[in-house]
Amino acid sequence: MTKNCRFIISFFLLFWFAFSLKASAQVRLREIRSHSELDKTRIVVEIDTLSRYSARKTSYDTLLLSIPELKSTLSQNLWTVSDGLVQNISYSKSKIIIKLDKSAGDYHVYSLRSPARIVIDISRKTAGDETEQSSSVFLKTVVLDAGHGGKDAGAVGPTGLTEKTVTLDIAKRVKEILEKQGVNVILTRDEDAFVSLQRRVAIANSSDVELFLSIHCNAAFSSRATGFESYFLSPATDDLARAVEAVENSVIAFEPNSSNKNKEFLALLADLKYTEYRKESKMFAEMIQSKLDGTFSTPNRGVKSALFYVLRGLEAPAVLVEIGFISNPSEEKLLRSYRHRQTLAENLAESIFQFKKAFDISSGFTQ
């Protein structure tokens, strides 16, 4: 066999292998079916393999199920239901679009195996739901804090991606989603600018805030560290939490008179072991972790506590989320992806809505 022949065969084998990898990454839509009951409609989206997904309402009458890399070979892209809760279901560009009727209320989404499928249960709106919808179904004001900024780049990935760039982009995406649902959103920064920790808290407390979310990227000495975790304000739970606390709090060095402020912060933090919003913050952190865990294959590092300066003195439930390790080459590559950032934003927004619903049901009390 000549060298040219071997080269051609090797080229085609390499091409076939690359094509196979790409094809295997795809998720194929096998079937969409629905079952109508008196007070509930169940929609089953059957796929060939379980994959990450996210679901959210994009308007009062549209529920969007996003499954990255979803492809359909079905002969139809529209399924009519017309049962009083769901008008129709359609497929378009990796998304399942569910048009809801006025009687549709809450929804619940989960996945099952054997066969792989995603199930959406849509319940009928009750009188209580109608009252809530007419008064204030959504949060009034949410403050989104994009970590770092300006002269404080935050963590830097192996190829130079900065934490400040990723967090601002995701914060803006979450803001867009929330505002479409009628939520008033305030960003502690909306550009690549340095904002002191003290100023971030002041912005939140002067805005009649109901919820505060600080978005960060994690980093570690080991490039193998991976996963996501959420923090609420309380003394650090372990050595790793203390390490993250030290890194995120190091931004105080960029602020004037940092030594005096450091002493002031530490004195205040000592009195915040059990804050008024500690339980609510922990509940919100758990919701974020659960939502991300249902979407991403990276490790769920759990809910932890630490004494972050940026959560100090906030007059509302507050959580700091580390969305991934920018120091990990694979996660840095994901964090560069606009699709991955959008999916992260959708999950964070959905967690905020879930928290609002739970808080309303309990009339503002947690157990």
pLDDT in tens, the chain (367 residues): 555 555 555 555 544 544 444 444 688 999 999 999 888 999 999 999 887 788 888 777 889 898 888 999 899 999 999 999 999 999 988 899 999 998 898 888 888 877 889 999 999 887 655 444 433 344 678 999 999 999 999 999 999 999 999 999 999 999 999 988 888 999 999 999 999 888 888 888 777 788 999 999 999 999 999 999 999 875 444 445 445 444 444 444 455 555 554 544 444 443 343 345 788 888 899 999 999 998 899 999 999 876 666 556 677 888 999 999 999 999 999 999 999 999 999 999 999 988 887 765 443 434 3
Q: What pLDDT sits at residue 216?
A: 95
The structural domains of the chain, ordered by start, are 27-130 (2.60.40.3500), 138-361 (3.40.630.40)
Q: What pLDDT sits at residue 12?
A: 52
115 preceded by a cis bond (ω within 30 of 0): yes
Q: What pLDDT sits at residue 198?
A: 80
Amino acid at 109: V
For the full predicted model, state whether its pTM sits above 0.75.
no
Q: How far apart are CA 164 and CA 190, in angstroms?
A: 11
How distant, in Å, are the alpha carbons of 5, 203, 207, 352, 353 from that of 148? 56, 15, 21, 22, 25
Helix H, strand E, coil C: the string for the chain is CCHHHHHHHHHHHHHHHHHHHHHHHCEEEEEEEEEECCCEEEEEEEECCCCCCEEEEEECCEEEEECCCEEECCCCCEEECCCCCEEEEEEECCEEEEEECCCEEEEEEEEECCCCEEEEEEEECCHHHHHHHHHHCCCCEEEEEECCECCECCCECCCCCEHHHHHHHHHHHHHHHHHHCCCEEEECCCCCCCCCHHHHHHHHHCCCCCEEEEEEEECCCCCCCCCEEEEEECCCCCHHHHHHHHHHHHHHHHCCCHHHHHHHHHHHHHCCCCCCCHHHHHHHHHHHHHHHHCCCCCCEEEEEEECCHHHCCCCCCEEEEEEEECCCHHHHHHHHCHHHHHHHHHHHHHHHHHHHHHHHHCCCCCC
Of 303, 224, 310, 238, the C-alpha closest to 269 is 310
Q: What pLDDT sits at residue 135?
A: 36
